Structure formats: C-alpha cells, structure tokens
Structure 1
Amino acid sequence: MALAVCLVITLAVSAAHCGSHTLLYHITIVSAPTTGVPQYSIIMYVDGVQYGRYNSDIRQAETSIPSLRELSKHIEKQTQYVQEYEMSQRHKLKFLIGFYNNTKSDRDTHIYQSRLACELHDDGTIGGYQEIAFDGKALLIFDKENVTYVPVTQEAEIVAQLWNKHYDSTNTKLYMENDCIEHLKLYLPYISTDLERKVPPNVKVSNSESESGTKLHCRVYGFYPRDVEVKWIKNGRDEIHSEEAAQILPNPDGTYQIRVSVGVTPEGGATYSCHIDHSSLEKPLVVKFEPNNGRYLYIIISVIVTLLLLLLPFALGLCIYRKRKTKGIYFNIKISLY
C-alpha cells in the first residue's frame, strides 16, 4: 500500500514571544520501510529555525548550523541518546498498533508522531508541551502541571488511561524542565546570529493546463528564516484556497522554498496575484500573474505554418497548371500566324 504521510502535527513552529525561546523535537516513526521516508526521524528546532536532525538512514545527529559544529562532543552524546530513545518510541508505536488492531487491520503501515518542546520565558520561568498523533490523527496531549496525558478526543480516553498506566509521565516532565532547557541555553549563544539572519524570498509565478483545468503556481524560494505565508488573491481581495497541502522544504544552502498551487476558472477581466509575507520584508510582496501571451502567439504561428504547408502542394499544382495552359495558348496563336 502506498504510504501518504499525513502530518497532523505540523512542522511549523509558532513565533516565540518577545524575549522567550523554544526548543522543539519533532519525532516520526513509520512501522514499515517506505521509499523516501526514514523509519525513524527527529528534526530539531530553536525558535522555529531548524538546527539539527537525526534519522535511521544517516544514524547520527547532524546540525545544519555551522557554528554548532564546535559542540562535536555534545552532538556525539545526542547521537547515543536518540538511538536509545528510538527503542522506547518504537515500543509506543507497537502499543498503539496493538490497541487499534481491530479497527485498523486494513492498514499495513502505521505512523507515530510526537512533538515535544520546552520553553524558556524572558522572566526566567519555564514551560513545555508534548502532542502525540497516530496514523494522521491527534491522540494525546501532555498535561505538565498534572503530570499526565489527556485525550484529544473522546474515543482516545481509553488509550490515555492505558498510556498513563504503561508509561511514566514523570520522565517527560523532568526532561522538559531540565535536559531540554539546558540544551536550549547551550545552543542560544551559538545560533543567535542565525536567529537574527533574514534573507528575502525570490518569487516566480506560472501556470499549467490540464484536462481538469488551469492551475496557477507560486514558487517562493531562497528565504530565511523558515516561517512564511503564501497565498493567491483574486481581483485584489478574494483569497483562493489551495486544495493541496504546501510544504516548506529546505535548500542545500540553509534557505527554504515552498510552492503554492491553486485551481482557477479563467474569467474575463479577472486578475490573480501571489501574496508573500515574510519577516525579511517590510511589507507583503505582491506578484501579479500575467498570462503567457507568448505561448498563445507560438500556438497561432504553429497553426499558420501548418496550414501553409498543407496548402503548398495545391498552390504549386495550380501554378504549374496555369503555366502549361498559358504555353498552350501561346503555341496555338503562333501557329495560326503562319
């Protein structure tokens, strides 16, 4: 069965409050090997900026921020930790598969996701949260004050009871308030420059035609930091919602890219524009879509050339016929003169 990894826990991170900082771990485990998707992966963010990753393909923690490479010993310890942590997370995935076995037996691939974060506020206080999802549906939320997992929906109540019975939630609270905060304090001096770095986006708009209709594409690329808002507007006021989930993807140079596509029905006089809002911009960037008139001109020229090629044999035949007829008349006139 083809796997569609539906991430109910979004990778986007809300902007931190002024003076506060957040360290977030996004964990994904897939129950069976799937092309292009590591079975186990962790992506790490500080204040919404991705700074590191680990997955079952590379088998070591890596940082995407050059200044953090000075912490080589720390990164090695993190590699050991996440490898050990993988075992406990896989156990949780097996637990959920076993629990939902009767209702989800038609699936052969399952996905466990967790988003765990700690927060260091400007007044010195700390916070944190954890969200857990299974097969694309939100399941549990960690209540740090009461040190327990609570269900997101009514149908998850039994899961929450069993989860709290099988897994010690005290460890989650201790990690949020101690190790996670210490790591955050360690990283901040190294990545402060990167957190302040801002690179404005490049934008390219285009369209494509298919049997289903016309699609407009807005490709935004080369921007930093990661958070960005991209949307299509019709006639300067009406937002066009996309039916496709747009993902922000990393570039090799540390910047990001995203493409937002929408289906439209062409209307006379209607205008379309792509609106981009990013922290590097003083005001939202608006790029209008201009129909590719050159494309239609090319089609018209192609049709004319084709018609000329089809008419050419007929024109040559007519020309030859007229020449022969004229020659015959001239010959007859010449004979009659004698």
Structure 2
Amino acid sequence: MRVTLKDIADEAGVSMMTVSNVVNGKRARVSPETIERIQRIVAERGYVPSASARSLAAKSSKLIGLLVPAADEDSLMISPHNVAIVGLIERELRKGGYHLLLRGISQPAEVAEALQSWSLDGAVLLGFLDEEIDRLTARTVGKVSLLAIDSYSANPLTTGVRSDDHTGALLAARHLLALGHREIVFAGPAFSDVGVVHQRYQGFRAAYAEAGLTWIERIVTVETTTHGSGRDLGLRLMQSHPEATAVFATADILAIGIMEGLAEAGCSVPGDVSVLGFDDLDLSRYVTPKLTTIAQDIPQKAAIAVRLLLAAVERREHPADPITLGVRLITRDSTAAPR
C-alpha cells in the first residue's frame, strides 16, 4: 500500500503539517532531531510525495501536453527531427519540475478535448500545418498557454520558435549552384503559401534569382517526409528527371532515402547525383556517403521553446514575435561538382 503523510506522522509522533514542511524543505521551525527522525522514517518506508496533492496545493497541474498529428486513430506522425525535439523538451521540462504528456490528434475537435480535459498548464504543438494552428480560437484553447514549434502562423494565442528555413534553403542552393549544378530537384512535402516548406522553397528560388538563373518549376517533386518515399524517388529519379545532377531534400530522412534509392538504381552519390538535406540529424553522419546538410540547432530550439512556454505559464508573459534561430551549411561527402 502507498505510504502517506499520515503514516509518517503517526510513526514520528508529529503532525502531518510538520512532516509536510520537512519533506518540502520548510524546516525553520522544526528541531534538528525531529527533522532527522522524519527523514529516517521517510527513507525506511519509501515515502514518495503525491504529485496530485502538490498540484492541488500549488493550483497547478505541472503537466505540459505535447500534441502531434496522427494519421489515423492508430499512428502518430513523428519524424526523426520531431522525435529528437520530443526527447529534448521532456528533459528541459523535467528540469523545471514539469511532466510531459504525449497526445496524438487525428481530428481538429480533439485539440480542445486534449487541452481542457487534462488540466494542462501549457501545451506544445509540434508538426501541425499553419492552417490548422490558425483555426485555434480562445474558446478552443481556454486558459492553456500554447507554443507552436516550426510554425509561421500569426495566431496571437500561440508563442513560437523556429529555425531560419528561408536562409537554410538559400545556403543549400548557393552551395549546389557554386559547385556548378543547374538542374536541381527540390524534393519535399506538399505546401501552401505559408509554412516551413514554403519558406524553404522561397529560399531555394532566391538563390537562383541571386545568381541570375532561371528557376525551372518542373523539377519540384512532392514527397512525404519519410525514408521510404525518398527511396522511391531515388529509384525513379533518372527516369523522371534525367537532366538532374543534384537533389535538395527538405529533410535529412528524405535525403537519406533518396541516396539509398539512387544506389539501388545503379547511380553514384555524388558521382552521378549530389544530394543535400536539411536538419543535421545524427543519421546524416552515419550513412555512406556522409550527408551534406543544413544544420539547425535542435537542442537550442527545445530549450528556448520550454523557456518561452514556462514564462507564459508561470508569469503570463507572451512574446510579441516568434524567435527564429540561425542555421548553417555542413559540407560532407554527398555533394560534389557535376560530371
């Protein structure tokens, strides 16, 4: 059975309030002998403070929800980049005394249910389209503080942190153009006129304009951000885009799949086709050839996200503008001059 404050108090011969004060570090009015006795009994009985009781006393649940899209009721849509973010956010929240609860969202109505039924102090939105974030209302959100990662939504209900996607793609295109590539496939998921992939698309096009070159719309290919989708593209790339000498993929996992598909199709990377990714995941250093990519500081993104969210939760501070983090080109072995 769970050991309670009353059990400790009865054995120590003191009040429950005295035990509570000792356990919670409020020991100014408690004698050293009593503190030592209570601590010994706590250790012997294996007493663990009740998180729910602490939450009631503090009028805070200490719970932060992490909401991610679910393709259906059975699966979550979490990319390797987002998996890294989840682990780092959990660590940062734990340092601050908060607990993370993961919830998949397959229908828009589930957002309100998740935010309001869990008694959350705050929530992180990860992997949602900006159009979905735009539709959140005060009635949906209630009093829960929200932070959206990698979002360009202008919804005033959310705080935001993201990487400089436009500059990242600009650096990628500049690198490939400087090597001498001109027919470069842009591979990424479908996008609208706002959002992460749109920013990367615009940045990529900007490098062509900067170099006085014409962008060829036909070499944009829409792919889901998965290894399997990348492999399929690599297998058919030389048939669908025989003129291509390079590929820019909007995510490392997609780029790695493309390299595998190209190898299976008998093409050399970078001998026949150069491949460049975005994220700088650990995987990019383990594949052969090692992947040239755009690095974003994922640990910093997670740390800032938690700092912003807890400021909103604890002090009701709400930054007027999202924070955009810098990116950099990491040159490895998957890019070279075209033959």
**TM class by smaller structure:** under 0.3
Q: Please give the TM-score of this superposition, normalised by the length of structure 1.
A: 0.21
Higher RCO (CA 8 Å, separation ≥ 6 residues): 2
Judging by fraction of residues, say which structure has more helix: 2
Q: Please give the TM-score of this superposition, normalised by the length of structure 2.
A: 0.21
